Structure 1
Amino acid sequence: MDLRGLLSFYFLLLLVAQPHPGNGASSRGSIFGQRRTPAQEIGTCETTVVKQGYPCQEFYVTTKDGYILNMQRIPEGRVANGEKKQPVLLQHGIFADGMTWFTNQPEQNLPMILADNGFDVWIANTRGTRFSRRHAFLDPNTKEYWDWSWDELAANDLPAFVDFIYSQTGRKVHYVGHSLGTLTPLASFSQGLVVDKVNSAVLLSPIAYLSRVQSILLNVAANTFLGEAAGLIGIAEFNPKGDPAVDSFLRSICTSTGLNCNDLVTSLSGFNCCLNASAINNYPENEPQSTSTKNLIHLSQIIRTKVIAKFDGLLLYNLRRYGAFRPPVYNVANLPRDLPLFLGHGGNDAISDVEDVQYLISILKYHLGDNLKSLFVKDYGHFDFIRAVNAKDLVYNEVVDFFKSQK
């Protein structure tokens, strides 16, 4: 079946599904299992962090466009010394939330490692994820709540997190992002947003230029305009666990391409060498989290156009929002020359392709000189950088040293 045929096929699937803007409920289990109801959701501090012997605090931050976002803080390690500590902000990627950093034992998880090394650790949960589904006046079951893409994550969520940490600590933050959590700071910092309150940034499995994405699942979704088809019939929340239309999306892709629906992590991201088997089995308990259909459309636009630009809503949308027919391009080369950066990427990553990351590094290296450090792990896939059992030895010790080297 060619791409046009696939598009027609998926569009028909959507037409027969029950469309709605917010949460859905399927009579059958999705390929990711069932999502727990909000009443069953307990904060990350209580369920995970405190049980491991670490102090933990829950906070809520409101963005300038009214989204109320959850944060966790681990102010120190299991052994307190009373010293004022340097804050570090951890930002998850798409279809995840802050729990993604806690899949292994404490001595293998980056937040605990940082806390035990004397850092004040803050964990972000972006809009639409289970602990960040509140708004000043919008209901998450409405289409309006989901009218955002990673443009808004860069312009509103990231600045809200950084500003809040700065207001609480009076200190600049170190930043760690994974996957989509690397694209948003590149977009944000290139526009001069809160970069004056950032000490340095670590980008793990960075996505920016997506010209050579190897993921079959992503390429099919992007090139058959699946997100656009979903948006046309009013699916605003892309909920892989609770929405029958989204479940039909994924099942149909697997069927038509021969992908293994029982191993979508590999189908999506490439082979991950070093994941804990129990962590893989527990994946459906925490992920995937919801995102907006508009966010997926925006990411697909990068894959198709090979340009990092703001959301392209076509002529009238663009004229109204940008005053031009085409959306403005993010110029990553605008990052400050004196902002220290650390990029970690893997040889088996089907999303953050080696050549794409090298192209990003070449742009940043020209402008940042000695303030740029890169780490290549040949056997790592996309998720190994946040979940591998050996990431402490191969990656996190390097991250700790990088942060401690900053004045």
Structure 2
Amino acid sequence: MFQSKVIITTVALVFILKSEFILANGQHPNLLHQELFSIEVGPNFTSLASKYGHPASQYEVITEDGYILTMFHLPGRSRFPVILMHGILDSSDTWIIRGENSLAITLANQGYDVWLPNSRGNRYSRRHVQLDPDKDVDFWKYSFHEIGYYDLPALIDRVLKETGAPTLTAIGHSQGNTAFYILGSTKPEYNEKVNVMIALAPICYLHHSPPPISTFIKLTPLVESIFTELNINEVLGDNTTAARIYRFVCSSSVISYPFCAYVLFFPLTGYDPTELEPNFFRISTKYFPAGISSRCLVHFLQVGHRRVFAQFDYGSEGNKALYNSTVPPPYDLSKVSMPIALLAARNDVLSTIPDVILLRDQLPNVVSYIVNPRSQFNHADYVWGRRMRLYLFPYIFPIIQRYNGVN
């Protein structure tokens, strides 16, 4: 049964690649009804924030390499800013779609000054001072390296400038943590600007990921060549064919839940239907996925395939030209001196316990390492879990209070 689910999931993910190829070449499959292409995403961040009693301010942040990022702000009475960095294929919406039970609203209700950025390429940050994401392939030539090297410094500097605070608290989910490891290792001066980084589902190594993730890791060269040959640069953005199909199928009816959750979603996050119930799952499809570059996905596969947390691999010739080496240089995690709290889970198939332990042993300033006691806790529960306030928040808030001088 497990093997058959892996095969079905793998086939479904291959279909995503095929769908992106259809869009990239301006073709729409005749068998699909035109209604499919009119499916819209849910209300935007500012609408949701107002709905839950916290009108949001919106900021534009321009990176050193010209990307225009959108960052939202939920003002609080606290003088301590907290920045929430979303994961791959996600956006700031992820921190708020659970409403009163979400982390962003819970922080705001407790008076924290909450900042919610969007990394380059997602629905809120699909802009550049010169490049058009719909016309210029160069817009999509980034991986999570650029998110850590360019996006985070610009975002952190803007928050500290707006608040006048000397440091901020960072909370990241998945790729949102990966970017901080890159920041701390490549721009060590930023370690002093983060009083603590709370890593939810820390992603750095992918040595122990089970199928179907390990299957794609083994096929890294093939996946990379498919993206290149089919000219696939943006993956699962709001206007891509694959994202529209996913939204149409998975938000439409009760019978879609068994397929979308059990075949497409849970194999990539860990099974936890108790916390990701059918009604909310259909809501989540209006917000996730939010788009990413294909190079981001390939970079993670490379890390798993080479078993080294290193910069993007451009091939021997490309590496020689860029790095003066035939292989990409590894990130020096010993330079990541900011205090880091690692929150892991046994049912997280993306951020596995052995991989988090490997990361823990290489970081020089791990101030807390917590394995969530709930056995079914999975990769998505950190941001979407129905009962986060019971089994997650009690581990987050004491750390925030400790590093912000709150008793």
Corresponding residue to 1:212 among 208, 231, 242: 208
Matches of 1:68 and 1:283 in 2, distance apart? 25
What is the letter of the counterpart of residue 96 of structure 2?
A: F
Query: Residue in 2 aligned with 1:201?
Result: 197
Q: How does 1:220-299 map to 2 (within 5 A)?
A: 220-224=215-219, 225-239=222-236, 242-244=239-241, 260=259, 263=262, 264-272=264-272, 273-299=274-300
Kept in 2, the 8 Å contact 1:95–1:288? The answer is yes
Write out per-residue CA displacement over residues 55-113 of structure 1, whole angstroms, 9 at most, x where no aligned residue. Answer: 3111111111111011110012xxxxxx452000001111111111122231x110111
Is 1:155 aligned to residue 132 of structure 2? no
Q: Secondary structure at the match of 1:137?
A: coil
Is 1:20 aligned to residue 16 of structure 2? no
Write out per-residue CA displacement over residues 205-257 of structure 1, whole angstroms, 9 at most, x where no aligned residue. Answer: 111111001241x23333223233112231111126644578999xxxxxxxx
Matches of 2:214 and 2:223 in 1, distance apart? 10
Matches of 1:394 and 1:212 in 2, distance apart? 25
Matches of 1:262 and 1:68 in 2, distance apart? 33
Give the alignment's TM-score, normalised by structure 1. Answer: 0.83
Query: Residue in 2 aligned with 1:71?
Result: 71
Matches of 1:237 and 1:16 in 2, distance apart? 8
Query: Residue in 2 aligned with 1:122?
Result: 115
Is 1:376 aligned to residue 369 of structure 2? no
Kept in 2, the 8 Å contact 1:175–1:200? The answer is yes
Identify unmatched segments of 5+ residues in structure 2. Answer: 1-6, 247-257
Kept in 1, the 8 Å contact 2:121–2:292? The answer is yes
> 1:129 deviation in Å?
0.9
Query: Residue in 2 aligned with 1:253?
Result: none
Matches of 2:58 and 2:245 in 1, distance apart? 36
Kept in 2, the 8 Å contact 1:70–1:131? The answer is yes
Give the alignment's TM-score, normalised by structure 2. Answer: 0.83
> 1:14 deviation in Å?
5.1
Corresponding residue to 2:128 among 128, 132, 135: 135
What is the letter of the counterpart of residue 137 of structure 1?
A: Q
What is the letter of the counterpart of residue 112 of structure 2?
A: F
Kept in 2, the 8 Å contact 1:231–1:294? The answer is no
Write out per-residue CA displacement over residues 342-391 of structure 1, whole angstroms, 9 at most, x where no aligned residue. Answer: 11111111111111112222223xx226x334243332011011111221
| Superposition misfits of 4+ residues, deviation over 3 angstroms | 13-19, 23-30, 33-37, 40-43, 240-249, 259-263
Q: Secondary structure at the match of 1:161?
A: helix
What is the letter of the counterpart of residue 361 of structure 2?
A: S
Query: Residue in 1 aligned with 2:182?
Result: 187
Q: Secondary structure at the match of 1:123?
A: strand
Query: Measured at CA, do residues 248 and 379 of structure 1 come closer, stay the same or move farther in structure 2, by a change above 3 Å?
Result: closer
Query: Residue in 2 aligned with 1:80?
Result: none
Q: Secondary structure at the match of 1:389?
A: coil
Query: Residue in 2 aligned with 1:363?
Result: 362
Query: Measured at CA, do residues 405 and 315 of structure 1 come closer, stay the same or move farther in structure 2, by a change above 3 Å?
Result: same
Query: Measured at CA, do residues 379 and 137 of structure 1 come closer, stay the same or move farther in structure 2, by a change above 3 Å?
Result: same
Write out per-residue CA displacement over residues 120-160 of structure 1, whole angstroms, 9 at most, x where no aligned residue. Answer: 00001111111111110000112111011011001011111
Query: Residue in 2 aligned with 1:252?
Result: none
What is the letter of the counterpart of residue 306 of structure 1?
A: R
Q: Secondary structure at the match of 1:357?
A: helix
Q: Secondary structure at the match of 2:24?
A: coil
Identify unmatched segments of 5+ residues in structure 1. Answer: 77-82, 250-258
Query: Measured at CA, do residues 97 and 386 of structure 1 come closer, stay the same or move farther in structure 2, by a change above 3 Å?
Result: same
Kept in 2, the 8 Å contact 1:205–1:352? The answer is yes
Kept in 2, the 8 Å contact 1:202–1:399? The answer is yes
How well do the aligned residues superpose, as a CA RMSD in angstroms?
3.1
Kept in 1, the 8 Å contact 2:143–2:299? The answer is yes
Query: Residue in 2 aligned with 1:323?
Result: 324
Matches of 2:175 and 2:21 in 1, distance apart? 29
What is the letter of the counterpart of residue 67 of structure 1?
A: Y
Query: Measured at CA, do residues 275 and 19 of structure 1 come closer, stay the same or move farther in structure 2, by a change above 3 Å?
Result: closer
Count matched residues.
374
Kept in 2, the 8 Å contact 1:91–1:123? The answer is yes
Query: Residue in 2 aligned with 1:344?
Result: 343
Instruction: Report % sequence identity.
Output: 26
Query: Measured at CA, do residues 238 and 303 of structure 1 come closer, stay the same or move farther in structure 2, by a change above 3 Å?
Result: same
Write out per-residue CA displacement over residues 287-314 of structure 1, whole angstroms, 9 at most, x where no aligned residue. Answer: 1121111111111101111110000001
Matches of 2:384 and 2:397 in 1, distance apart? 17
What is the letter of the counterpart of residue 20 of structure 1?
A: A
